[in-house]
Structure 1
């Protein structure tokens, strides 16, 4: 045995082939009866229903639900789901306990006691509940204006997403306090600035050869990736890189662990870029042709731009220091960005008129031979036909023969040959003298030269001091990531997640990481940054979170309303983004009345503990004139509502489900059991409210309020004749592979070459002009970000490390009194954010909140395993139990978030004991997107002599857990 030296990862690799062979012959098979399943007719039957778990809000694991006599009795993984690989987690299995929980909301209720006290809930009818809500909201609007209302939403369960956009055309408010602002939103924000909306998602399910997990523990959280597939990806990868201050459960298997100082991600990413550049590992074809790296910056130029605005969520006039033809000649185009052509020793242009299509209805890019072309070239004319969606085919694409490319066992996609220049050679380095149309001389510098200089500022030996890392380790990681295993494509994207969004520099962090993937050739490549799965099942936009009716004026069409968006004064980019009001600003306005009162709102599948300072959020909601909530449970947020509406559990509802990330799968939630009592489905609740206020919801003027079945048919119309047919196919055949359903789009890589990365629209709404490029003002993946430049100045056009005001770098005196860095958001396998605290199987495993502390620190502080400890900042004080763990660095703790205790009395349910965001400074946040600083702030830690707070369940033997066991009888009462 002494001679054996096989690590766990090596052993797994050795056995993978054997396991794969064994799996080929294993089929679970469906026990479905011959007749289609209906939950209403199941007495005396045992059925096995294929569905999609929503036990958490971020993954869509395929599951089998066994139903006996109409009751769900078992949940297990569905082997047909390629993204979850036949597994499901403890949250999924425990969903039965949630569905049949004795404390689930069964009827609409209204409060009878003042806010801040036990609400004294009283059952009411649906008619009374809906009428009361309409009256309450309309009264607030009449008295204070629509801006005094806000919407609050939490996790992405698809059908409960109305607070994100669904109430806009009724409330007429620009203020949404949605978890998106601190959860995935900043990543989507950043990728939209740089390349394409939501391209922060990487296709790790495709098994990249170098697997990089940056600031996350997806193996226990099922966050965007199924825990089972993440583990498999790690052990199959040639190299596994973990970027995390902590040594995580999976991170201990890493080949390279970059245990950076929390919050210094931008410096690390730029240092890795510096290594890539200096070792000539850049994907030069992509960088030169498909980024704005060769575009020229003129530092002393007055920022200018085209008259036609760039469209994202609203029209935005771009003002940039990038050199355009309009700067050089009177009749020059502001869309033609200039480069220095080394081949001819002269200036050439790239024509970015593709951005006009969304803003100018008179412009037809298909009729413009120079649209999105380099001077002297027309590469997008290489396909046959008109370029419209109905005629385009990758088989007809000329000059890009392409190839199947993924490893054996993976769904194959088509990879076009990498495009190159035909007649010009844009310079990337140096400086060039240019003459403006007024005769003045100026120096023009390529964007790439600017980026090279910026990265050099964070060379490994410099970044090492900022990140508290070994510079040699930074270089080793960068070389491992960028040195290609296959010369045809990069080694894979980067799975980066929540932690980098929470330190007050989220946009800079995300942009720097995306540029690292960009320059190494991982933009829309195999295993690379691919974004959301593309399929015409518009489950988010057209199922629950907004009206289907395109003629209804939404909040985004009212600039005078959007101008009142709370937080816009401090965050100029809100004008461009337009998708949320700043949560901290909303809470502050509610408490202070400045700049105007906040007096009403709605919450749907969310809570006030997830972003910003929890105490201020509670105080804001408590003073509202009217507030309603739609949820499964009584919880601290709903206890401040005037009316609560009971919604349905995922085992009770129908809904299509595609991979929200790059998983490439399409499936469905299928109703397995009859709904509880008088619960309603979220989309039907919102539509019923719209009907009461007379605002059409449907897509057909003759049918303004479609039935649920009609909505479902409409949503799946591009992939199935009807919802019924869709479900029958799903039940029989399992999850669809979207690469096969959409070979010209999701089944093709390098879509920036083929035109399917973005789709600009002509007046004919069903004809997509296929034009190469990205949905940015320059139509390139932007290293120099023109939107950031427009709203924040040229100094923000390139990513830069900017520590927040409460960081040790900028406020060392604060850290003298509060010397410990508090990380938060610790992932718990049995919980999802604030959910599942009342499920016995979950609570037995994890009864009380735990705070990870380095054992050496604990010894110095007089703390032992399991002790209750005080964690205190200048803004609040909480208790959690000590969990001693050498994987946490000295001087750092890692707390759990959004803790509340269902067993504690209403209205607070014990949230003040342990909810970590009480420690948050409400006055500072990310300057670009407003994401709250909910990690990395200073605290002090000491033993809580008081011990366990009164009344909470703190161990698995507590007899009160038995009171939460499932109740199967009387569900229809």
Structure 2
């Protein structure tokens, strides 16, 4: 017998797996919810390849085994590279939800007053829709559409109604959505500094040093989780875990940074200090593609104009002075130095100018070039191939720092320089980097130790290990897997900014195993489901304004028929959503446009807001997921009309006037792509037939639009993609419509490169036969290439498949002068212009003197109110700090608790 080689770590994992397997094997068969009515064995058996939505986070490929039309088994699909063929307990158990006796099978209406037993009565879909159309339209006519708000949690499969479509329908900016406390702060801070979803990490690549920041992602997580995480975690040379609690994955870490709850920001600032102090900054990237060198004039009145960014309704560079986002900044621009100068030329100090005396040099955001440079996208033969021969194979361009050297540019990142503005006044200008460096100069490991409770040596050693690359490696050791926890602590935006800055300064932005943003794919579930020619409110305003400017009808005339739009002052997205509850207190929220503050929503329901909220609709959300649940319960009772779309009764349905039954993920067809940076393309394929009186969320959305259109609301229009026929068809028909429109072979509308399937059935059959599709292979430019700021394929909109480079060659579609990022000036922004304008200057207008702008422009640490340092807690009465939100492996938030296998 050969030598038994079993390490301590391997033995512990094997033991845990054996215990779980034994527990499942011993589970009594009668405990299975569906077993009592199971069909007899021996009939037709089929396996359907599909995508699990048992947790709403990962896109895990699975096989569903169906016997005599009934799902009996869920198991992992090994073609699902983005989830490593994983199939967790939630996934295997979720079929019990499809057959659960407590499932809602028919539309229901309330017959008793709120606050009492509802007295649910079964009704038809026709009655439900007529009631919904009548009640919502009455509210709109009497109080305006903004009196209605939408609610949503983490999606079952498809819940774009509350996040987007219902806003278009009701003309409301108000939404209570889970992203306010779950991925929203992380996503938004990436949005305003580089790209949408900047923190999402390409964990599948396999980092050399894995930094796990918060949560227990081995159980559930937004981008990468479960086996995918465990495989990469164990393969990493070093695993660093930042978590107050010892999680399942954390116990395997080489470095466990068990900091005091809520002190993440202090640790991140200390890491930034160490990086600068030990000269471990990726200087080539920082100098070439960030705003580190741009000059700030502190005492200058902020100036600016309109800038294209991810929030701009339409991104067309020649039109940005009409349709861009309105921003003002203290960054030095040509318009500050010369009367009539451009607000899009930003200045830095070149130490080599004027024979070494120094002088100004500009970055031209209109052409995304430094003065004197003529950057050209590198060709394939100039790129390194990384992860060759694996599913993660991709192209890595070099950082084009040499172009600055050839142009004779050497930025001063620390000095002070006198500049004369157009009005003749003299001012001192300092580079952005000096503000960042100064903000962390006192954030030593010892300083952080006193706040976090960590050993200062542990803080320093773990940071240095992460940053130190092997000789010859020209990219970072891996990004930071920033998980949920920092979204839910006080001062979360500054904490997230501090961690994101570490990603940028370490050279891990859009690099191998780095932080890449959202996967780019030629198909996705959002685009295939958009309601035809309908569109977001801000797009309607922009098109109407551009129509007035050009004399052409760009916006269908039935939209905004009673609104005049000044073509010389077209409102930007923040202005369009200016009626959002709390827009004055939180100016960033109408700019982003996804959620209103949850507490202010409940206050407005009780009549304590700018106006009263009187109705709403919920699709998979819960009033208990944030803010004060008691306040929310009282607020829901005050609404005139409330609709809930759900599979099961829950506390929120008790306040509903109408309940609509939706379908389970095993019962529907829908395209599914990786939400994070894994690049998986597949679909949720119908495995079993749904109960007859239930509907897919998409079709419920369409019926609600139709219900309001019947009551005279033009926003209820839901057409086919051509816009020449009503869109009153099922989602499967819509999928066919979309593929005929957008395939790259014969599409009658915008053809999406990489979308090779001319029909929905083609895509479905390809997926069933060949498995999950790798975006790196069919999107070599938009996703298969790293460092896309070098190639022009990063500066584009947010959506997975519809986003295209902002500036292109009309003949080829290739990017032209489109380098950098989709930020207002095209550079990665430490000095975020949106943060400056909205979070600080506008917030100070609402509450004068609230913020020290210069201090807050760089991330800083403030202790949470509930922490030991917060000053608001009697530590003798409350000596223990409770940290909540732990992931329970068998549950997904409030879901699955009624399933026998999960209990």
Q: What range describes the TM-score normalised by the shorter chain of this pair?
A: 0.7 to 0.9
Describe the shift of the 1:150–1:131 C-alpha distance in structure 2 as closer, same or farther (beyond 3 A).
same
Describe the shift of the 1:497–1:772 C-alpha distance in structure 2 as closer, same or farther (beyond 3 A).
same
Structure 1 gaps, min length 5: 15-41, 355-370, 384-393, 844-973
**1:437-836 matches, cutoff 5 A:** 437-485=422-470, 487-543=473-529, 546-550=530-534, 553=537, 557=541, 562-694=577-709, 695-698=716-719, 699-705=721-727, 707=729, 708-716=731-739, 717=743, 718=752, 719=755, 720-759=757-796, 760-761=805-806, 767=813, 769-770=815-816, 771-791=818-838, 792=840, 793-836=853-896
Range with bigger deviation, 679-688 or 550-559? 550-559
Q: 1:892 — aligned with what? A: none
For the 8 Å contact 1:542–1:548, the answer to whether it is kept is no
Describe the shift of the 1:136–1:765 C-alpha distance in structure 2 as closer, same or farther (beyond 3 A).
farther
For the 8 Å contact 2:81–2:391, the answer to whether it is kept is no
Range with bigger deviation, 47-56 or 325-334? 325-334
For the 8 Å contact 2:388–2:394, the answer to whether it is kept is no
**Structure 1 residue 313, shift from structure 2 partner:** 4.7
For the 8 Å contact 2:368–2:820, the answer to whether it is kept is yes
Pair 1:417-2:398 in alignment: yes
**Structure 1 residue 578, shift from structure 2 partner:** 2.1
For the 8 Å contact 1:246–1:259, the answer to whether it is kept is yes
Range with bigger deviation, 437-446 or 481-490? 437-446
Q: Give the match's secondary structure for 2:686.
A: coil
Pair 1:320-2:320 in alignment: no
**Structure 1 residue 677, shift from structure 2 partner:** 2.9
Distance 1:404 1:308 in 2: 35
Describe the shift of the 1:10–1:641 C-alpha distance in structure 2 as closer, same or farther (beyond 3 A).
closer
**Structure 1 residue 561, shift from structure 2 partner:** 5.9
Distance 2:335 2:417 in 1: 18
Residue-by-residue CA offset, 1:785-822 (whole Å, 9 max, x unaligned)? 22111120333221111234444323245444333322
**1:861-940 matches, cutoff 5 A:** none
Q: 2:749 — aligned with what? A: none
Q: 2:96 — aligned with what? A: 97
For the 8 Å contact 1:352–1:779, the answer to whether it is kept is no
**Structure 1 residue 539, shift from structure 2 partner:** 1.5
Describe the shift of the 1:533–1:310 C-alpha distance in structure 2 as closer, same or farther (beyond 3 A).
closer
For the 8 Å contact 1:116–1:622, the answer to whether it is kept is yes
Describe the shift of the 1:713–1:12 C-alpha distance in structure 2 as closer, same or farther (beyond 3 A).
farther
Describe the shift of the 1:6–1:466 C-alpha distance in structure 2 as closer, same or farther (beyond 3 A).
farther
Q: Give the match's secondary structure for 1:51.
A: strand
Over the residues paired in the alignment, what is the CA RMSD in angstroms?
2.5
Q: Give the match's secondary structure for 1:508.
A: helix
**Structure 1 residue 353, shift from structure 2 partner:** 3.0
Q: 1:37 — aligned with what? A: none
Distance 1:786 1:556 in 2: 25
Distance 2:575 2:793 in 1: 34
Range with bigger deviation, 304-313 or 582-591? 304-313
Range with bigger deviation, 714-723 or 296-305? 714-723
**Structure 1 residue 144, shift from structure 2 partner:** 2.4
Q: Give the match's secondary structure for 2:604.
A: helix
Q: 2:897 — aligned with what? A: 837
Describe the shift of the 1:205–1:89 C-alpha distance in structure 2 as closer, same or farther (beyond 3 A).
same
Q: 1:377 — aligned with what? A: 373
For the 8 Å contact 2:795–2:806, the answer to whether it is kept is no
Q: 2:342 — aligned with what? A: 333
Describe the shift of the 1:200–1:90 C-alpha distance in structure 2 as closer, same or farther (beyond 3 A).
same
**Structure 1 residue 5, shift from structure 2 partner:** 11
Q: 1:353 — aligned with what? A: 365
Residue-by-residue CA offset, 1:353-375 (whole Å, 9 max, x unaligned)? 34xxxxxxxxxxxxxxxx11000
Normalising by structure 2, we get a TM-score of 0.83
Q: 2:560 — aligned with what? A: none
Q: Give the match's secondary structure for 1:349.
A: strand
Residue-by-residue CA offset, 1:741-798 (whole Å, 9 max, x unaligned)? 1111100000011011122436979956441111112211111222111120333221
Describe the shift of the 1:516–1:141 C-alpha distance in structure 2 as closer, same or farther (beyond 3 A).
same
**1:956-967 matches, cutoff 5 A:** none
Distance 2:785 2:582 in 1: 40
**Structure 1 residue 533, shift from structure 2 partner:** 0.8
Pair 1:144-2:143 in alignment: yes
Q: Give the match's secondary structure for 2:606.
A: helix
Q: Give the match's secondary structure for 1:456.
A: coil
**Structure 1 residue 378, shift from structure 2 partner:** 1.5
**Structure 1 residue 201, shift from structure 2 partner:** 0.2
Distance 2:250 2:535 in 1: 50
Residue-by-residue CA offset, 1:23-46 (whole Å, 9 max, x unaligned)? xxxxxxxxxxxxxxxxxxx99321
Distance 1:509 1:552 in 2: 31
**Structure 1 residue 407, shift from structure 2 partner:** 6.7
**Structure 1 residue 623, shift from structure 2 partner:** 1.5
Distance 1:61 1:446 in 2: 45
**Structure 1 residue 66, shift from structure 2 partner:** 0.6
For the 8 Å contact 2:136–2:615, the answer to whether it is kept is yes
For the 8 Å contact 1:659–1:665, the answer to whether it is kept is yes
Pair 1:112-2:111 in alignment: yes
**Structure 1 residue 519, shift from structure 2 partner:** 0.7
Distance 2:310 2:223 in 1: 28
For the 8 Å contact 2:524–2:672, the answer to whether it is kept is no
**Structure 1 residue 547, shift from structure 2 partner:** 2.8
**1:147-158 matches, cutoff 5 A:** 147-158=146-157
Describe the shift of the 1:715–1:519 C-alpha distance in structure 2 as closer, same or farther (beyond 3 A).
farther
**Structure 1 residue 145, shift from structure 2 partner:** 2.1
Q: Give the match's secondary structure for 2:151.
A: strand
- Residue 429 of structure 1, aligned match among 392, 410, 414: 414
Residue-by-residue CA offset, 1:473-498 (whole Å, 9 max, x unaligned)? 11111101111135211001111111
Q: 2:160 — aligned with what? A: 161
Residue-by-residue CA offset, 1:693-752 (whole Å, 9 max, x unaligned)? 222223322123153233213445442111111010001101011100111110000001
**Structure 1 residue 298, shift from structure 2 partner:** 1.8
Range with bigger deviation, 589-598 or 223-232? 589-598
Distance 2:477 2:652 in 1: 45
**Structure 1 residue 308, shift from structure 2 partner:** 5.3
Q: Give the match's secondary structure for 1:645.
A: strand
For the 8 Å contact 2:581–2:609, the answer to whether it is kept is no
Residue-by-residue CA offset, 1:159-191 (whole Å, 9 max, x unaligned)? 123111111122111110001111111111110
Range with bigger deviation, 326-335 or 115-124? 326-335
Normalising by structure 1, we get a TM-score of 0.77
